[in-house]
A and B are shown apart, each in its own frame.
Chain A
Amino acid sequence: MAHFTKATSVHDWLNQRLGIDTVRRVMATEYWIPKNINFLWAMGMVLAITFALLLVSGIFLLMYYQPNIATAFDSVNYTIMNEVEFGWLWRHIHGVAASVVFLIIYIHMFTGIYYGSYKKGREMIWISGMLLFVTFSAEAFSGYMLPWGQMSYWAGMVITNLFAGGSLHADGLVEWIRGDYVPAQAFLTRFFMLHVLLLPLAILGLIGLHFGALRIPHVNNQDGEEIDFEVEAAKYKAGDKAGSKVIAFVNDFLSKDMMVVAIYLIFFFYLVFYHFNFAMDPVNFDPADGLKTPAHIYPEWYFLWSYEILRPFSTDVGLIAFAFAQVIFVLLPFLDRSPNAVPASRRGLFQVWFWLMLVDMIVLTAMGKLPPEGVFSTIGLYAALTFIALWIALPIITMFEKKA
């Protein structure tokens, strides 16, 4: 058994039992971050804060939400929005955060892609990040079912139908997922469970994994410079803070993170109070009606690009393309054959690949929302083909990439 002495202070008491000084050193004051990074490296913290906002606002909503197909709609739109003090505020925070979190996730992902931060020991950061993306997508989708509006119902119908696998006709699987032939009470209750318990738990665990995966390789920097963290940390600790290439997570990096977070929150709360419609689709303010198909059924904006990869093809081909789109980003560290973990601007053809991919995904996103008619469906088709072609081209162009 360890040796305990009479504590001299609360701090000492805790320190003997929990080793808080060590934890603090390892996780904060001697967790080294490269100095040469820009505000894009604060997106991780922005995500953590946004997730916290989602969690807190969600807990408040949960106090009045009723997971029952007869009362769900009014419990949200009347009880929470009109009756409960500041219920509207929690709901708008929750709705806007659910949408904005994806914007930040995409910025965070494309930052990783641009700077090659998924290579050279950072593969697990990337993979845990992609797992977070998938879980967040499921979380957003299940949350969208809860108000039981027209879009909840019909998006739920369309997305669960995908599991029939086209001509595989796995209708049994679809019914198993729904717990019924069509989305109904069983469907709502299980998505409620997923949304408020299982998926948030998984997200919390994955965030832990993601942070853990960062600790050994450290984060990348904006010049892809290989830093000897021990040497630089020694310099820092010897007092040469200006000469060292690293900074401490707390307070050095944290102060920059908080600056970015604060500016982000101005933008965020502006959306919450004055510009929330983009995050709360008008169609979902009509109660679910299984007999009335809405004129346009589309998912939330952050799913549109993959939806558009599904849409232009025949059912089976579309499903295969869709499945491809869902998993392909996970494989990025292995499809990129170049050892260069430097910014795309120094990687020749890969730079072209990066911007093409970004623009292509925006085009896919736009076409995914527009009605699939005339020129829009043609553009959508070519954009989907471009997406697939870009991924096939990636190993080839990176294989021949010169050492940077």
Chain B
Amino acid sequence: MKELLILVVVTIFTLATYYLVEPFAHSQMHKHVESEHFAYNDLPKLTATGDATRGAELVMGGAGCTGCHSIDVAGMPAPMDAVTAAASYGVNPPDLSNAGAVYDAKFLAELIKNPAHALLVEHKFDMDKGQMHPMVAFYGTGGDLDQEVADMVAYLQSIAVKPEELTPAIAYETVCGRCHANHYAKWTQIGTTPTFKYEKESLAFQIQVLEYQDSLVKYMGTLPPDLSIYIRSRGEHYIETFMENPQNYLKGTAMPRVGVNKHAAEQVIEYLKDSGDAKRHEREEVGKYVMIFMVIFAIFAILWKKQVWRDLH
């Protein structure tokens, strides 16, 4: 009984210390932001029902989206390669093939009408001061603006993959990949690093990446960090709420609110786990067996002790 009492005392002091240096200290050091579940409540609801066919015409024609963006699934190539595009816009406009699957619909509509506002970068792009966002706003082609925007959103959704087909790689590459490299997943801002036969080719590729990054730094003011193991340095909750609205954590940051929907956000997190915590499934699996083994080992150890000590009492 005395041993049990000692164990209780030791446990209480250990847990108290743990509580103070871990949960408590971290709650004092870091701001806690609750997730809004990617609701984007500050953005107006879509009122009109879109028509994908008319949307297609607008996207490829009147609205000029394809003047800057590629749409691979619709056979629309990029007007320029990534490095040249970054030199003109600061960053390579993402391929829109799966935009309908990764971005929230309300967000897309607002983005088309007023990019700086949707992206929450109005502190950097103030129209009154003549600071134009590199993605030009769409003012309509004469019809009902909201209807036209809804049509384009409907079109983007119609060509995109189904939610269940949305892979972690599609989500990450579409939404974050133009700014954030992830070298554990071999991702650079201009695409996946190919395997090269000759060092010359490898160096040429690296130069392109560096040139792209130069433009990006000019545009963002800083090089967006490589996210390879951000899942361990920042944790899931932080990344989730950060991508929902970076301004919550870093007031005035250049990183835009990217407007992902909840499902795509989960896929982005999955991608980051695959690069930064690749063996997590194996860990849980192996953990189970080791725990079972240790319990059996402990039972035998207790039995042995009981046997040896029978003569000692």
Q: Are A252 and B309 in contact (CB under 8 A)?
A: yes
Q: Are B13 and A282 in contact (CB under 8 A)?
A: no
B219-265 residues at the A interface, CB under 8 angstroms: 228-230, 232-235
Q: Are A259 and B28 in contact (CB under 8 A)?
A: no
Judged by a CB distance under 8 angstroms, whether A211 is at the interface is no
Interface segment out of the listed A33-41, A60-68, A168-176: A33-41
Inside 8 A of A252's CB, which chain B residues have their CB?
Answer: 308-309, 312
Interface segment out of the listed A47-55, A125-133, A317-325, A366-374: A366-374
Q: Which of A39, A88, A263, A282 contacts B233, CB < 8 Å?
A: A282
In the assembled complex, the Cα of A365 lies from the Cα of B13 at a distance in Å of: 12
Q: Are B312 and A258 in contact (CB under 8 A)?
A: no
Q: Are A283 and B287 in contact (CB under 8 A)?
A: no
Interface segment out of the listed A180-188, A200-208, A270-278: A270-278
Q: Are B294 and A82 in contact (CB under 8 A)?
A: no
Q: Known contacts being A89-B286, A247-B312, A259-B305, is A358 close to B13, with CB within 8 Å? A: yes
Inside 8 A of B14's CB, which chain A residues have their CB?
Answer: 103
Q: Are A366 and B291 in contact (CB under 8 A)?
A: no
Inside 8 A of A242's CB, which chain B residues have their CB?
Answer: 311-313
Judged by a CB distance under 8 angstroms, whether A285 is at the interface is yes
Judged by a CB distance under 8 angstroms, whether B127 is at the interface is no
Q: Mark B7-26, 1 if CB is under 8 A from A, else 0.
A: 10010011011101110110
A221-273 residues at the B interface, CB under 8 angstroms: 241-242, 247, 251-252, 255-256, 258-259, 261-263, 265-266, 269-270, 272-273
Q: Known contacts being A35-B312, A259-B301, A283-B233, is A88 close to B294, with CB within 8 Å? A: no
Q: Which of B3, B17, B28, B229 contacts A285, CB < 8 Å?
A: B229
Q: Are B21 and A269 in contact (CB under 8 A)?
A: no
Interface size, chain B (Cβ < 8 Å): 52
Q: Are B298 and A39 in contact (CB under 8 A)?
A: no
Q: Are A255 and B308 in contact (CB under 8 A)?
A: yes
Q: Are B283 and A88 in contact (CB under 8 A)?
A: yes
Judged by a CB distance under 8 angstroms, whether A304 is at the interface is yes
Inside 8 A of B311's CB, which chain A residues have their CB?
Answer: 241-242
Q: Which of B279, B298, B305, B312 contacts A81, CB < 8 Å?
A: B279
Q: Are B309 and A370 in contact (CB under 8 A)?
A: no
What is the CB-to-nearest-CB distance from B271 to chain A, in angstroms, rounded to a whole number?
14
What is the CB-to-nearest-CB distance from A254 to chain B, in angstroms, rounded to a whole number?
8
Q: Known contacts being A258-B304, A282-B235, is A266 close to B298, with CB within 8 Å? A: yes
Q: Mark B113-130, 1 if CB is under 8 A from A, else 0.
A: 000000000000000000
Q: Are A38 and B308 in contact (CB under 8 A)?
A: no
Judged by a CB distance under 8 angstroms, whether A29 is at the interface is no
Judged by a CB distance under 8 angstroms, whether B302 is at the interface is yes
B1-56 residues at the A interface, CB under 8 angstroms: 2-3, 6-7, 10, 13-14, 16-18, 20-22, 24-25, 28-29
A-B pairs with beta carbons under 8 Å apart, 28 shown: A39-B3, A77-B184, A77-B229, A77-B276, A78-B228, A81-B277, A88-B282, A92-B283, A241-B311, A247-B312, A252-B312, A255-B304, A258-B301, A259-B298, A259-B302, A261-B301, A262-B302, A266-B291, A266-B298, A273-B283, A273-B287, A278-B22, A280-B232, A285-B230, A365-B17, A365-B20, A366-B24, A376-B28
- Residues of A in contact with B (beta carbons under 8 Å apart): 35, 38-40, 77-78, 81-82, 88-89, 92, 103, 107, 241-242, 247, 251-252, 255-256, 258-259, 261-263, 265-266, 269-270, 272-274, 278, 280, 282-286, 295-296, 301, 304, 358, 362, 365-366, 369-371, 376
- Residues of B in contact with A (beta carbons under 8 Å apart): 2-3, 6-7, 10, 13-14, 16-18, 20-22, 24-25, 28-29, 184, 228-230, 232-235, 275-279, 282-284, 286-287, 290-291, 294-295, 297-298, 300-302, 304-305, 307-309, 311-313
